[in-house]
Amino acid sequence: MDELRAALDRIGTARDRVRRDRREVRAELRALERFADRVETIETGAVTAAPAGVAALSRATPDAMGEIREAYRSTVMAVDHYDDVYGEELADNVAAELTPEIADAMTGATTSVPAGFKAAVRSAVDTTADCRRSHLRLLDDEEGSLAEAESALGEVIDAVEDPTRSRRAAMARLDAIAAGRQPEIHRRTGRASGHELCSYLYDDEPWTYPVLSAVATLRRAVEGE
């Protein structure tokens, strides 16, 4: 019977992994939004009006682009899991998260900020933030699916451990759980969909599909009795 409970444990492991990824994605989403807000506050070259005969004064921050780089480091690159999950240099991460063009501007030699840069940053942040929100919805779906499977498999194990209950009924219930899980995997779309989501979430485990793997283990255990 220990084998039965061990099969159920992998569902708990999968739920832990989903919760961890959800925490990380939420932290990244907040960091990206803080970065975009910080960029908005940095003076990038507006010129104040001046009386006739008096030189106009630029309100640009002396090293505006340097401040933008620092803002990125202190927000997006400052999330707790950055080094473990990404470990990239600023240029590589900006290119992946925003655009290569924004990365080139941020890592160039100039201290000034080109026209339209703030708008480009805001647009790029909005795009990547939307991807993360979509991914969070997938994680919520996965968490709900795992919770349902965990409850259903627990009921099957209780039935198997009860000598008065039918093994045939337990096998039929396992088949139904597996049949319900597969369409759930196939119907997903988003940042990481279907099989990609499972591979992404559970790449450190010896199984890619926790529910189907648990079902297979339980079937073998029930058939062997």
Q: What is the DSSP string of 150-218?
A: HHHHHHHHHHHH-TTS-HHHHHHHHHHHHHHHHHHHHT--SSS-THHHHHHHTTTSS-S-HHHHHHHHH
pLDDT of residue 61: 66
pLDDT of residue 49: 41
pLDDT of residue 54: 40
What is the rounded distance in angstroms from the CA atom of residue 75 to the CA atom of residue 27? 10
Alpha carbon separation from 58 to 55, 112, 159, 190, 218 (Å, rounded)? 10, 12, 77, 45, 72
pLDDT of residue 101: 96
What is the residue extent of each domain of the chain?
2-224
Tokens of 191: 């940042």
Q: What is the pLDDT along the chain (225 residues), one digit of tens a residue?
A: 577 788 889 999 999 999 999 999 999 999 999 999 999 999 876 443 444 444 444 455 678 999 999 999 999 999 999 999 999 999 999 999 999 999 999 998 877 888 899 999 999 999 999 999 999 999 999 999 999 999 999 999 888 888 888 888 889 999 999 988 877 666 654 545 557 889 999 999 999 999 999 999 998 888 866
* pTM confidence score: 0.83
What is the rounded distance in angstroms from the CA atom of residue 60 to the CA atom of residue 29? 28
pLDDT of residue 220: 87
